[in-house]
C-alpha cells in the first residue's frame, strides 16, 4: 500500500473514473455523467483512490447536516481485502470529522456482503433495510456514532 493515494474529483476524467467505480460496485444505482456531476453541484466531496496510477476505488462524503454525514467508500472487487477500503474510509472519515460530523451514516447494496462486513467491522449498526419504489434491489442503511 505504499503507493496508495486519494485524489479529489476535479475535471471530466476524474469524474468519469469516479463514476466507473461507482457503477461497477453499485450496478443497481448506476448513474450517468449528468447524475454524477449533480453530486458535485450539491456539494458532495467525491474522491478517487489509486495504488500508484491504478484506480482502485472511490468515495463520497455528503455535506454534514445537523452533525450527521454520509460517508461511502467503494473498492473495485479485484482490489478488496488489501487495505484500500480501510485507508479510503479513514481518509473520508477524517474529512467528515473536520466538517463537524458527530454521526456517520452509510448505505450498502444488500447483496454486497463485502461492504456489509466492512461496515460492521468498523462499528456501524444496521438501521434499516428497504427496497425503493418500483425496484427490486434491497438497500441497507447503517449508522455509527463517533
The string over 99-129, giving b where at least 16 C-beta atoms fall within 10 Å of a residue's C-beta and e elsewhere, is eebeebbbbbbeebeebbebbeebebeeeee
Closest C-alpha to 50, from 1, 115, 96, 119:
1
Give the mean model confidence (pLDDT) for residues 29-47.
96
For range 108-132, the mean pLDDT: 93
The DSSP letter of residue 132 is: -
| Interval 5-20: pLDDT, tens | 999 999 999 999 999 9
Please report how the helices 33-41 and 12-25 are oriented relative to each other, as an axis angle in degrees rounded to 10.
Answer: 110
- Return d(Cα 84, Cα 75) in angstroms, integer: 7
pTM exceeding the 0.85 threshold for the entire prediction: yes
CA-CA distance, 120 to 48, in Å (whole number)? 23
Residue 2, pLDDT score? 79
Residues 42-75: pLDDT tens digits? 999 999 999 999 999 999 999 999 999 999 999 9
Residue 1: what pLDDT? 66
Average pLDDT, the chain: 95
When pLDDT is cut at 50, 70 and 90, the band that residue 146 belongs to is: confident
Amino acid at each position: 500500500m505504499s503507493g496508495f493515494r486519494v485524489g479529489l474529483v476535479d475535471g471530466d476524467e476524474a469524474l468519469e473514473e469516479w463514476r466507473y467505480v461507482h457503477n461497477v460496485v453499485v450496478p443497481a444505482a448506476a448513474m450517468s455523467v449528468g447524475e454524477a456531476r449533480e453530486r458535485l453541484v450539491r456539494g458532495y466531496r467525491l474522491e478517487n483512490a489509486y495504488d500508484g496510477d491504478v484506480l482502485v476505488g472511490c468515495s463520497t462524503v455528503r455535506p454534514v447536516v445537523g452533525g450527521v454525514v454520509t460517508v461511502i467508500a467503494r473498492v473495485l472487487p479485484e482490489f478488496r481485502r488489501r487495505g484500500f477500503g480501510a485507508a479510503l474510509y479513514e481518509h473520508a472519515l477524517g474529512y467528515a470529522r473536520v466538517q463537524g460530523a458527530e454521526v456517520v451514516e452509510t448505505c450498502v447494496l444488500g447483496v454486497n456482503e463485502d461492504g456489509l462486513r466492512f461496515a460492521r467491522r468498523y462499528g456501524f449498526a444496521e438501521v434499516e433495510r428497504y427496497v425503493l419504489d418500483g425496484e427490486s434491489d434491497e438497500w441497507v442503511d447503517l449508522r455509527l456514532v463517533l
